[in-house]
Amino acid sequence: MNSTEIKIAIRMTNHREMFDRIVKRVRAELDSPDSVEFIFCSSNEEFASAGSDVEIVSCYKFTPEILSGLSGLKWLHFGATGVDGILFSELVESDVILTKAVGFHSKVTAEHAFAMMLYFERRFAESIKFKESKKWSQREIALQNGTLRGKSLGILGFGAVGQALAEMATVLGMNASVASRSSKPSDTLTHVNRVFPLTELNELIAQSDYFAVCVPLTNETRGLINRERLSFMKESAIIINVARGAIIDESALYEALSQKKIAGAGLDVFAVEPLPEDSPL
């Protein structure tokens, strides 16, 4: 090893074969690949003891204990979009540069959100129920079926996922509007009918047939969708959450669902994961 070599510790996979594939792709992008040493870490213990001369780390999980063992760390790349789970004080107050994987799963997350919308709109639950009961109830299902075309989609947050949702909504004939901190008018954004400031979020919620939560979890957004906000939803409306569970007040959401104040919820995330067995949700 020469004095100019850079050490990169990678804790993205437990499998050596996958690690080798990652390294091969990264080396192909480097001007001087021989000047970089990649360290395979298959456990948090190996990760924490990778050495004080490690300058770059790429991982999905990061703790104060790991940071304390990497005194030479300069750059932490987090392999997911949300970093709320690793913003502990020691890292925030350090000089370590933090980057994240922005936008790499925006399309599939948007597709997942639409899968949940179609689940409700096309009455998949009823279809499965009738199938399991061995009943032919085609007419009963057909009378309840709807279409996304012409429905209004409210999007909270206009990052990569929110933009992908708006684009897909346009293709499906939906009318997409967004609530965002951005002050850009709707005519400067593609696939959006209207941009609401966050101060008018309740108005967006009230007009939406589907309301999708796509913002990161911050002190500002924690519990943002509370009992009051949920009260603005139509009784026929569906809320979709593909962001973070703690953005929605889950007790208020359960109350709204159980009292049929809203029609349903498609939840990809929860405040506590995995969802506790005693959770009413």
pLDDT per residue over 135-180, tens digit each? Answer: 776 777 767 788 999 999 999 999 889 999 999 999 999 999 999 8
Looking at residue 42, its pLDDT comes to 87
135, 148, 192, 235, 237 from 187: Cα distances, Å: 50, 23, 8, 30, 26
**Collapsed DSSP state (helix, strand, coil) of residue 191:** coil
Distance of alpha carbon 166 from alpha carbon 114, whole angstroms? 11
Angle between helices 106-121 and 124-132 (to 10 degrees): 60
On the CB side of 198, how many CA atoms lie within 13 Å of its CA?
A: 12
Distance of alpha carbon 15 from alpha carbon 250, whole angstroms? 37
CA 63 and chain centroid, separation? 21
Confidence of residue 184 (pLDDT cuts 50, 70, 90): low
4, 48, 58, 223 from 61: Cα distances, Å: 28, 12, 9, 24
Q: Which residue has the higher pLDDT, 66 or 132?
A: 66
Distance of alpha carbon 201 from alpha carbon 113, whole angstroms? 20
Percentage of the chain lying above the pLDDT 90 cut: 64
Confidence of residue 1 (pLDDT cuts 50, 70, 90): very low
Q: What angle do CA 99, 103, 104 make, to 5 degrees?
A: 95
Looking at residue 101, its pLDDT comes to 83
Residue 229: name the closest of 211, 205, 212 by CA: 205
Report pTM: 0.79
Alpha helices in 80-173 (DSSP H): 89-92, 106-121, 124-132, 138-144, 160-171
75-78: strand order across its sheet: 36-40, 6-11, 54-59, 75-78, 97-100
Give the pLDDT mean for 117-145. Answer: 80
* 60 Cβ contact partners less than 8 Å away, ≥ 6 residues apart: 11, 12, 78, 79, 80
What tokens were used for 118? 């179609």
Please provide the average confidence, as pLDDT, over all residues in the chain. Answer: 90
Looking at residue 79, its pLDDT comes to 85
What tokens were used for 106? 């925006």
Is 60 exceeded by the pLDDT of residue 58? Answer: yes
Question: Which neighbouring-strand residues pair with 266?
Answer: 240
Owner of token pair 């390294």: 23
Looking at residue 258, its pLDDT comes to 97
* 108 Cβ contact partners less than 8 Å away, ≥ 6 residues apart: none
Give the pLDDT mean for 182-208. Answer: 84
Ordered by where they begin, the domains of the chain are: 6-100 (3.40.50.720), 106-267 (3.40.50.720)
Q: What are the tens digits of pLDDT across the range 59-117? A: 988 989 889 889 899 999 998 877 877 889 999 999 999 998 877 789 999 999 999 99
